Structure 1
Amino acid sequence: MNLMTSMSVETNNVFEDMSGVVDASFAVAEFDLDGKVMRVNDNFLALTGYDEDEVLGQYHAKFISNDVAEAPEYGLCWADLRAGKNKRVVLPWITKSGERKWVEETVGPIRDAKGTVVRIVRLGVDVTARHDSFADLQGKVDAIEHSQAVIEFDLAGNVLTANYNFLVAMGYSQSEVVGKHHSMFVDPEYAASSEYRAFWRSLAKGKTAARQFKRFGKDGREVWFEANYSPVFGADGNVCKIVKFATDITEQIHSLDDLKSTLESGFEDVDQSLCKFDQSYGDVSQSCRQAQAHLEVSTMVAGRLVSSVDETAQRLSELRTVADRAYEHAIEGDGAIVSLEHAIDVLRDCARDDAAIIEQINVLEKCIGESARISTELRSDLKAMLSRVAVVSLAIDEQGQITNQVRSEMHGIQTAIETSHGSFDTMIKASEEVAMAVGQTREASVVLAR
């Protein structure tokens, strides 16, 4: 924006003497044709902060900033004034204290009776507050123009104007959209709907609409805007047009769509993994149940085996006791046989002449000899049996220890299987919680993608 804005008006009017009304309303200064101060009023002095003797004879350039005074437009302005032209300008004045004030000046030549320009009069009004407010507003408008896509519509939805950002986003030129209806940017089915007509009726009544909007560019591609449709009210308080302020979020929407696809793919992989996990858990759980059932039977059999081994050991112990007694009796029988043999020898000596007795003694001796033989064999058999009983008892003792150890190990295995079963229950519960979390995350990703 130029530091000096002006509106030239060609005129031949001659300024008359200043009236009291003008003198009271404006900061008035009269200059000669070279731009030197000839007269100022109190308003001028109050505005600039100078005393009268400090300004008389000074050039007009003393009261404006150097950048304006040195600009070519400033010299041309004085040339136009000397040529008899009127000017209306807004200039940055610099007060005595160095403060910048914006002054709107109405400047014109004063002519003599012959029509010759003899001096220049400048009527000024302090517009600093208005200028600063306008500059602030213009700065905001410029910021919006540079950062957002802006398009204006009449109340019927016809395009009045569109800025660069909007045209680039949609792929159109200004001439291709001005005068066209907003419906050129939306889906034809939506444009023909009652919802779309209600949308524009609502805007025309002064209501705003702010959300994400899907639009279609010149090449038919989707364009997404985060936008606000705002009614603009005229001086009469009625809606005079609609302005749309928008930010192109197409890239973000596409990124969200890609994210959604990625998440969905990941969710499918997780679902498949969970299904495999569930299947594996079912197989393992079934195997555990079968193993537990077999183990229970084996434990029962082992228990019976232990009882059987204990009973067998007890019977062998009893058998060994009986065998020991029989062996002792056999030894005692050997002693008795020796005594009988000695008695027979005595009888034989006594019955040496009695053939009948000798014959009976011989028969008895034969029987005693046979008994001695049988007793010897029995003693040998009992000794062998005792030896085998000892070996079997040792084996049974070892088997009993092994069987007890097996039963203990089986009990440990059963405990481990039960614990594993509990762990699998915990794992399946965790997998269910994972599946639930995945489902919730999937729902969240759908909402996010909207």
Structure 2
Amino acid sequence: MTDARATAPDDGLAARRAALHLIGQATGSQRLLSESIAAGALERLSPPDRARAQRLATQALRQLPRADRALKPFLAKQPPLAVRNALRLGAVEIMEGAAPHGVVNAMVQIIGHGKRTQSYKGLVNAVLRRLGDQDPQAWAKLPVPKLPNWLRGPMVAAWGRDAVAAMEAVQAEAPPLDLTAKGDPAALAERLGAELLPTGSLRLREAGQVSALPGFETGDWWVQDAAAAVAARVLDAQPGERVLDLCAAPGGKTMQIAAAGAEVTALDLSEARLGRLRENLDRTGLSARIVQGDALEFDEGGFDAILLDAPCSATGTIRRHPDLPHAKDGAEFGALIELQAEMIDHALGLLAPGGRLVFCTCSLLPDEGEVQVEEALARHPGLVNDRAALARPGIAEDWIGPEGLRLRPDFWADRGGMDGFFIACLRRPQTA
């Protein structure tokens, strides 16, 4: 197919080509959307087309199982992946309300420009036109997309079939936009017309262009999922405390800690991601000491508190990143679990006596949460699991288990859900 990054007239083709490129990278090359975008997949598009391409790709990947079910009656056999993805994207657009004529013409034109796909123009035209004649209600009647077996199996074992089905129902819907306020969240919620969530985050159902929202330029808030924001609230940084934010970029938690008045050191391995953190700090007028480096090699100690949002499977973020189940297969989980244990041990050694470590992962797998805490307590005699620190405003009692706080996508389902997270607060003893 043609280069997804090539410029095109403002007729919707450029955004759709780019979306198909992103979908193809996820389904064919097992590459996350963020990786493709960082590699420049959208760099030649106008800002509106970039936003549209991401939106189209994300929604298509979120609804891929439904699209395949809708297309199945019209396909005697599966076409090549590039053609199949064009049909999938077209199906999602049509069945979610886009004008069939425009979608069909666009997909036929895109397929016709590819040397390896041009012979499928007739198929794409016929299938999408027949799909456009279907009852629009048929889409809603299709089963909720399920997680792939490599992930669904462990999750069912951990949480049960009903809970996993509830999570899948939330993940099938486009999530709202959550914000963290630099100042008074209630005042900002009123200003933006946002819902003030019980934990203190703000939620917008229809946000539009983020940078156009009131308060963006003046740094009054930043985008951060409500579940992710809980970790820094559990840390409860105090003015003047020395706090280390390990794996800090892109900086949501760093900004929370800085806004609390603490002296925060933000460390991350990726210089590119730290660039985003610097931009966020500049926009919000907050300050932090920034260090680029490997968390396991950082040897400065004596911190009052450390926040470790450890590298993980990111399975808790599928509602926002539906490419993950298609781009990953779980093969790297074992190495990530080993790394998390190493990072916990190293972080504990950087704390002052009596200091606290908030360990968290955006994972739905107990091996990356509850089990890590169990094993850390066994490795470190005297280490205290401070469950009382987890009782923050808006946190339901039954979300707190013996090992820590478990947040899941199906919590607040009527509000739009939340990302999956595990959070624990571990305190180093006052004496060795």
Question: Does TM-score exceed 0.5, indicating one fold?
Answer: no
Q: Which of the pair is proportionally richer in strand?
A: 1
Which of structures 1 and 2 has the larger relative contact order (alpha carbons within 8 angstroms, sep 6+)? 2
Structure of higher CA gyration radius = 1
Q: TM-score, normalised by structure 1?
A: 0.19
Q: Which of the pair is proportionally richer in helix?
A: 1
Q: TM-score, normalised by structure 2?
A: 0.20
